[in-house]
Amino acid sequence: MNGPDVSSQALATKKDGYRHDVAAHAGLLRLKRPVLGFGAYVGRALTDAIFPRKCRACGAYWPYGPQSSSSHVDHDTDLRTGEHGLWNIFTRVALPFLCSDCLTSFEPVRSPLCERCGVMFKSAVGEDHLCSDCLRHPGAFRRARAVGIYSGALMELVHQLKYRACFVLLDPLGQLLQGAFQLHWSPGEIDMVLPIPLHVRRWRQRGFNQAQMLVDAWAKSERRGARDEYRFPKVRDIFMRSRPTAPQTGLGKPERRRNMRGAFKVVDRAAVKGRSILLVDDVYTTGATAAEAARELKENGAEAVDVLTIARTMPNLDRMGRKAERIGT
C-alpha cells in the first residue's frame, strides 16, 4: 500500500510561508536600525562627555570616533605592499589609543636599507645593500628588521609599555610584530621565536619582560594551536640571561658590546640545534644585545638567527626621516 499523499502544493505553501517569515523578520530589523542607531549615537555622546578618550602619546583628549573594523591582522596579500602595509596596520590597531595627529607621526622602516642590520639609508633612491658597519663587522645574526622608526607615537607606545606597564598596548603591538614578520620573512623560514631574555634580578625589579609579553601577544593574535607550541616555546627552558648587565642607555657602541659580552646562555642545546631562530625585542639601538644573543645561539648549534623589534633607532637620519616622501603626505 502507498502511504499518504503529500502534494507538491503543500510543500510549496510551506516554502512560501518560510520565505514570507524571513522577509518579515528582515523588515522588522530594518525598522529597528534607526532606533538602534540613535541609541548608539546617544551612548557615544554620553561616553564622550563622561569618559573622554586620552591619547597615549601626547595626552590630549578627543571624542570617540569610528573604531578599527578588525582586531587582527588579515592574512592576505595586502601585507606584501611593503612599508605602506605596515602603515595601514599601525593606523588600524593604534586607532583606539592615539589622536589623529599622533597617528601620522608613525614612520615605518622601509627600503632602501641595510640587508643585514636594517638601518635606513639617507637617500630614498637605490636598492637594499650592506651598510659600512656591517661590511666591517658582519656579526652573528643574519638580518634584523623593525616595524618602525623609534620616534613619535611609536616611541611613546614603547615607553608606555616598558616603563608604565601599560599592558593594554600588548595586543596592538603584537599585531604589528605579526604584520612585520609576514612582510619580511617567508612561510617556513623561521622555526622558533624567542624573546630576548631578562635577568632574574631585573625581572624582579620590573615585574615583567616586555619582550616575552610581546611574543605572547603575537602568538595570541595568530590564534595558535597545539602545533604552534613548538614555534613559541617557553623561553626559560631554552635560553636565559646568565648575568646582570648595566643599563645600555647612555653607552656608546663599543661600551654596549663589552657590557653584553657573555650575558646569555643556552640552557637546552638540543632545542636550538639546527633551528632557524627569530629573536624579538622592543627596540634595536646599536644591535649589541641582539648580536651577543645571536652569537650564543649560533655557538650552540642554531643554523640561523634573525632579529625583529617593534622600533629601531636611525642615527643616520634626522628625527623626521623620510616622512615627506610617504604616501598621503
Q: Mind listing the pLDDT tens digit of every residue in the chain (329 residues)? A: 444 443 333 333 333 333 334 344 444 344 444 444 556 555 555 655 566 678 988 888 876 554 433 334 443 444 445 566 888 899 999 988 999 889 999 999 999 999 999 999 988 888 999 999 999 988 899 999 999 999 999 999 999 999 999 999 999 999 999 999 999 999 899 999 999 998 888 888 888 999 999 999 998 887 654 445 568 887 777 998 887 776 666 666 776 777 677 778 999 999 999 999 999 999 999 888 999 999 999 999 999 999 999 999 998 775 445 544 433 33
Residue 79 lies in a domain: no
Residue 264 and residue 151 in one domain: yes
Domains of the chain: total: 2
List the domain range (segments joined by +) for residue 33.
Answer: 14-51
Alpha-carbon span 180 to 12, nearest angstrom = 55
Residue 35 and residue 168 in one domain: no
Environment class of residue 32 by beta-carbon count within 10 Å: exposed (0-12), middle (13-18) or buried (19+)? Answer: exposed
Alpha-carbon span 279 to 212, nearest angstrom = 10
Residue 60 lies in a domain: no
Task: Say which residues have a Cβ less than 8 Å from residue 103's Cβ, sequence separation at least 6.
Answer: 90, 91, 94, 95, 153
Residue 145 and residue 20 in one domain: no
Per-residue model confidence as pLDDT tens digits over 154-201: 999 999 999 999 999 999 999 999 999 999 999 899 999 999 998 888
Look at residue 85 in the predicted model and tell me its pLDDT: 82
Residue 247 and residue 163 in one domain: yes
Residue 3 lies in a domain: no
Residue 71 lies in a domain: no
112: domain CATH number is 3.40.50.2020
Task: Say which residues have a Cβ less than 8 Å from residue 325's Cβ, sequence separation at least 6.
Answer: 124
Residue 64 lies in a domain: no
Environment class of residue 174 by beta-carbon count within 10 Å: exposed (0-12), middle (13-18) or buried (19+)? Answer: buried
Look at residue 61 in the predicted model and tell me its pLDDT: 83
Residue 43 and residue 117 in one domain: no
Alpha-carbon span 132 to 122, nearest angstrom = 13
Look at residue 250 in the predicted model and tell me its pLDDT: 66
Residue 163 lies in a domain: yes
List the beta strands (DSSP E) in 171-246. 192-195, 239-241
Residue 33 and residue 173 in one domain: no
Residue 20 and residue 141 in one domain: no
Cell representation of residue 203: 625581572
The pTM of the full predicted model, rounded to 2 decimals, is 0.76
Residue 72 lies in a domain: no
Residue 128 lies in a domain: yes
